[in-house]
Structure 1
Amino acid sequence: MDAVQALVANIQGLSSAGDISHLHVVLKQAPDSLYAESTRLLPVLDQLDPSKHSLGYLYILEACSSGSISKEQGSALVLPIATFINSCDTEQIRLAPDKFLSVCKRFKDQVMVLEEPLRGVAPMLTAIRKIQTSSEHLTSLHPEFLLLCLLSKCYKAGLSILGDDIFEVDQPRDLFLYCYYGGMICIGQKRFQKALELLHNVVTAPMTVINAIAVEAYKKYILASLIHHGQFSTSLPKYTSSVAQRNLKNFCQPYMELANSYSTGKIEELETCVQKYKEKFENDNNLGLVKQVISSMYKRNIQRLTQTYLTLSLQDIANSVQLNSAKEAEMHVLQMIQDGEIFATINQKDGMVRFLEDPEQYKTCQMIEHIDSSIQRIMALSRKLTAMDENISSDALFLGKVGRERQRFDFDDFDTVPQKFNI
């Protein structure tokens, strides 16, 4: 422990002197001695201030949490790590980002072992903001944070990072998991449009071999499409990898059959398909979503009635969409009115439903603000894409590859530029 005490003295002295660069050199030479004493390092942290001695504290904390530790040891580490994340100096921990990420991931692992994922939500969000170079940067902590939000059902916390536009990714797997977990969080909040956007990113992301995350995302993408749009298109965009184009549907046959049954508009066929693959849907943890698909078919069929009738009795609606009673039809209609899916009034005296036109005139202050914010976001995205295009166009590796590709073509392989135009 003498070497450890000497290191603590160095951490305290060099941090107080502001010589963090020298301290970093000293710490890089210390890992072997720290790992050798890892089981006895926890009390040493009491001698350091996580806000002033952040870099040294991080090195010791990383050694403490390394290797296999018991549940009791893990429980003792959770509070010091959470305190460190909340109070550490951003500039210091960014000098050793790998160690900071390692400590945060082990923190996530421990709160999961303790079956207390909620304890990890706030510290992990703080960790993301501290290690991010910008809000456009996707770190390897993003999917870990979203997983904790899912397990603790703290969906609103997860939504706080899903609104960021991501342009910089450290590892492809991080993007897959971020979009997959994010899609699940949005489904939990009934934000199906955003969920579809995220799941679509997983399915169409570049991949050389099919991966389990993309397969599970495609299953949920099919179900969310049926719920939100009332239909599902089997065709994928041209930029989707050939591996995904060829294999995804084969791994999701029960879901493809469900989509085909849904397209008939017949509730009996849909329920037969659900019963046929109920065990499969349950094993995939998608049975709850499948039940929402069934419910959405009733809604779609009711919406079709609005295109034909001006007024209709609740009993007629129940008969047309094959609900059990007028009361059940009333509950569906009321929920759809509340969700803005149809516009109607119900006369309680005679049980008649009157279907109305959409009252939105697109001229309120709120609507104008919404349109303006959408335009501003699109303009910002356009500027970002232009900047990225300019950076790629001047990249030496890109230019070298383009140069090699050009050698495979002759000038005559390309269309000539016309010299005259007919107007």
Structure 2
Amino acid sequence: MDAVEKLVAQIQGLSGSVGDLNQLHLFLKQAEDSLRHNSSRLAPFLHQLDPSVHSLGYLYLLDAYTHSVSRDGANEVVLLVARFISSCLAEQIQLAQHKFISVCKRFKDHLIVLEAPMRGVAPMLTAIRKIRPSSEHLTTLHPDFLLLCILAKCYKSGLSVLEDDVFEVDQPRDLFLYCYYGGMICIGLKKFEKALELLRNVVTAPMSTLNAIAVEAYKKYILVSLIHHGQFNTHFPKYTSTVVQRSIKNLTQVYLELVNSYSNGNIAELETFVQVNKDRFEGDNNLGLVKQVVSSIYKRNIQRLTQTYLTLSLQDIANTVQLNSPKEAEMHVLQMIQDGHIYATINQKDGMVRFLEEPEQYKTCEMIEHIDSSIQRIMALSKKLASVDEQISCDPLYLAKVGKERQRFDFDDFDSVPQRFNI
């Protein structure tokens, strides 16, 4: 019996109790070099193990086997890993989380090579749920899952994890990618308010050096702000890292110029600017969003009319906002009414539009329930923040750092976000 056969026998015999699993884990760690050396002949041994019973041992063999698989073997690996993720025991794989994460990341890479991201959406979501301690924990697999959702255009599946409140993060880069990919998913679903929240989190997150993810997020943040609000505020929140405030505008100058062109309200000028810089926007994979920005200027100009007029003909609207015909103006107005961007009625007989005040009186049962739900969520968040603040205040590392800084700084000079959070 060679070393691998002996190890498989140990896996089969020591996968029952917690004590046996701890002993098996020691054997598996000692056998890592041997498994890696014999990676090309591990496939038959994997078939001798049941991933729903021998999860820990199967994981070690699977990790070694998938470490150097060629493109030709990618499909087999995808099938093996998907089956393993579906049936493995969470309590066993959590003993070797780093192995499980490595296998899942290779799984994602193979799916991208095969151009079959859809096959990984459900398994990766299952992997996240098996490995995370709670729904408040952001794992390093979250960004990979969201990337697969984007590539597969399976946005609603991605939204399922974006609805979770996150308080624990394994690595700073995971948070940047999670928020960036999450913003892209919300853009795909036209959930622009949520997209802005996620993209803003990327830009304003503490960082000691400017990273490429934040720059790309800022570009999309500008475009979505124009689409959704019809304007963009170039001022950063006070808690934004100094490095972002100092450098990011220089790297996104063409987008800030787009804001200026948009603010003028001249459609012809905006279209000319976009055409001149088309290659730049296309190179950033933002041309589709830029086109939505151009389309949204009609909505913005119509909204301006509601602040000045009570009634207006469709012909006057078409002339004022530079649309081709009254029919085109009617389609824009109807869409804006449906989306809740304006309140108006259209008289089909004489082609007149009457602009109305917002009908919501904030006294319906649905609105009261919505307000109550928001209050309860804020209370829960406040309680969580108080708990985190208490934990940090008792942390020996934090207390030691504060003790050193006390000698050099006056606490009144500190920003509202302590520098200890810089990453």
Q: Which residue is equivalent to 2:399?
A: 399
- TM-score normalised by structure 2 residue count: 0.95
C-alpha distance in structure 2 between counterparts of 1:410 and 1:277, whole Å: 48
Q: Which amino acid aligns with 1:286?
A: N
Change (3 A) 1:88 1:410: closer
Give CA-to-partner distance per residue, 1:194-240, whole Å, 9 cap, x none.
Answer: 11111111111122222111111010000011111111111111221
C-alpha distance in structure 2 between counterparts of 1:401 and 1:285, whole Å: 43
Q: Which residue is equivalent to 1:196?
A: 196
Q: Which amino acid aligns with 1:110?
A: H
C-alpha distance in structure 2 between counterparts of 1:398 and 1:183, whole Å: 33
Change (3 A) 1:180 1:315: same
Q: Which residue is equivalent to 2:418?
A: none
Give CA-to-partner distance per residue, 1:141-184, whole Å, 9 cap, x none.
Answer: 00000000000000000000001111111111111111110001
Q: Which residue is equivalent to 2:368?
A: 368
Q: Which runs of 5+ in 2 are unaligned?
A: 414-423
Residue 409 of structure 1: how far off its partner (Å): 5.8
Q: Which residue is equivalent to 2:34?
A: 33
Structure 1 segment 238-387 matched on structure 2, within 5 A:
238-387=238-387
SS in 1 for 2:14: helix
Q: Which residue is equivalent to 1:44?
A: 45
Give CA-to-partner distance per residue, 1:243-287, whole Å, 9 cap, x none.
Answer: 111111111111000001111222222222212211111111111
- TM-score normalised by structure 1 residue count: 0.95
SS in 2 for 1:96: helix
Q: Which residue is equivalent to 1:136?
A: 136
C-alpha distance in structure 2 between counterparts of 1:186 and 1:271, whole Å: 26
Identity of aligned residues (%): 74
Q: Which amino acid aligns with 1:20?
A: L
C-alpha distance in structure 2 between counterparts of 1:241 and 1:133, whole Å: 30
Q: Which amino acid aligns with 1:76?
A: E
Residue 137 of structure 1: how far off its partner (Å): 0.9
C-alpha distance in structure 2 between counterparts of 1:89 and 1:12, whole Å: 15
C-alpha distance in structure 1 between counterparts of 2:127 and 2:370, whole Å: 32
SS in 2 for 1:83: helix
C-alpha distance in structure 1 between counterparts of 2:281 and 2:118, whole Å: 28
C-alpha distance in structure 1 between counterparts of 2:233 and 2:209, whole Å: 23
C-alpha distance in structure 2 between counterparts of 1:216 and 1:318, whole Å: 36
Residue 17 of structure 1: how far off its partner (Å): 5.3
How many residue pairs match? The answer is 412
Q: Which residue is equivalent to 1:80?
A: 80
| Superposed CA RMSD | 1.6
C-alpha distance in structure 1 between counterparts of 2:36 and 2:302, whole Å: 66
Residue 43 of structure 1: how far off its partner (Å): 1.8
SS in 1 for 2:345: strand
Q: Which amino acid aligns with 1:269?
A: E
Q: Which runs of 5+ in 1 are unaligned?
A: 414-423
SS in 2 for 1:47: coil
Q: Which amino acid aligns with 1:242?
A: T
Structure 1 segment 61-140 matched on structure 2, within 5 A:
61-67=62-68, 69-140=69-140
C-alpha distance in structure 1 between counterparts of 2:395 and 2:17, whole Å: 41
SS in 2 for 1:92: helix
Q: Which residue is equivalent to 2:160?
A: 160
C-alpha distance in structure 2 between counterparts of 1:84 and 1:275, whole Å: 50
Q: Which amino acid aligns with 1:85?
A: I
Q: Which amino acid aligns with 1:59?
A: Y
Q: Which residue is equivalent to 1:418?
A: none
Q: Which moved more, 1:348-357 or 1:116-125?
A: 348-357
Q: Which residue is equivalent to 1:20?
A: 21
C-alpha distance in structure 1 between counterparts of 2:231 and 2:405, whole Å: 42
C-alpha distance in structure 2 between counterparts of 1:387 and 1:410, whole Å: 26
Matched, 1:151 2:163: no
Say which structure, 1 or 2, has more relative contact order (CA 8 Å, 6+ apart): 2
Matched, 1:53 2:36: no
Give CA-to-partner distance per residue, 1:316-343, whole Å, 9 cap, x none.
Answer: 1000101111111111111111111111
SS in 1 for 2:232: coil
Q: Which residue is equivalent to 1:11?
A: 11
C-alpha distance in structure 2 between counterparts of 1:400 and 1:328, whole Å: 66
Q: Which amino acid aligns with 1:164?
A: D
C-alpha distance in structure 2 between counterparts of 1:38 and 1:297, whole Å: 59
C-alpha distance in structure 2 between counterparts of 1:242 and 1:163, whole Å: 30
